[in-house]
Amino acid sequence: MLQMWRLLLLCAVSLVATPAICWSADGREPIHVLVAYHSLSGYTEQMADAVAQGARAVPGTQVIIKRVGHVTAEELFAADAIVLGSPVYWSNMAAEVKKFIDDWQFKFGVFPEFKLKNKVGAAFVTGGQISSGKELTMLSILAAMLGNYMVVVSGGGAFGASATTEGTSPGVDEQELAAARELGGRVAEVAAAINTGFELQQRQTSGIRQ
Ligand SMILES: Cc1cc2nc3c(=O)[nH]c(=O)nc-3n(C[C@H](O)[C@H](O)[C@H](O)COP(=O)(O)O)c2cc1C
């Protein structure tokens, strides 16, 4: 009997809790931010965690954080914003990240409809050296996003957030993590503003038509 009461209580709690999970406090649909990254020795992963933390700090935001190879079509298309992170390899993105971007077409068929159009896009990287390709790498990620008609934003730095991980600046320090959090926060805020703008536009358009 006690078991049954426990079960009933659990059902009641889930019924009450579900809308809170699905909808933000002000009744709007949540903003979905996808943080996708590649990382071998863990530095870019640390930055990814901080980007996700920054995005989560914006009320009404839901974050999925995944390695690039594990992202599903559903997650990609449900995202309002995609933040992509890579280690710098020879002044460019890692092959795994490039493959993920190419898979937007090969696996997910984004063209010719431009299915990622108007999603917010941003980049973060880690590189061993202070000046050996971090900005180029972020720009090449952003260029691929621009080619997909995404709305590209920076934050935590002129082209995105970055960390130097070797030499005189080993690992990812607190300042670099703060830059990554800043990027995540800006991405979530801009995605929310864009969604609100489109919703308003839709309402106005349907109002004019009535
Ligand atoms: C094949 C290879 C190429 C690299 N090329 C660069 C480079 O051009 N510039 C740079 O700053 N760091 C370079 N690095 C260093 C990595 O970018 C750096 O260690 C990075 O923080 C590793 O990230 P992870 O810990 O997420 O794997 C290279 C590392 C490897 C393995």
Question: Residue 84: phi, psi to the nearest 5?
Answer: -115, 130
Instruction: Note the pTM of the prediction, 2 decimals.
Output: 0.88
Which ligand 1 atom minimizes the distance to the CA of 90? 8
Which ligand 1 atom minimizes the distance to the CA of 130? 11
* Nearest of 155, 127, 152 to residue 142 by alpha carbon: 152
Centroid of ligand 1 to alpha carbon of 157 (angstroms): 19
Provide the phi-psi class of 35: left if phi over 0, else alpha when psi is between -120 and 50, else beta.
beta
Return the residue whose CA atom lies nearest to atom 30 of ligand 1: 89
Place of tokens 């008609």: 149
Domain ranges of the chain: 29-194
The mean pLDDT value for 42-70 works out to: 98
Contact 131 CB / ligand 1 (< 6 Å): no
Which ligand 1 atom minimizes the distance to the CA of 92? 8
Provide the pLDDT for residue 208. 65
Residue 70 has pLDDT above 90, yes or no: yes
CATH architecture of 29-194: 3-Layer(aba) Sandwich (3.40)
Residue 96 has pLDDT above 50, yes or no: yes
Mean pLDDT of the chain: 90
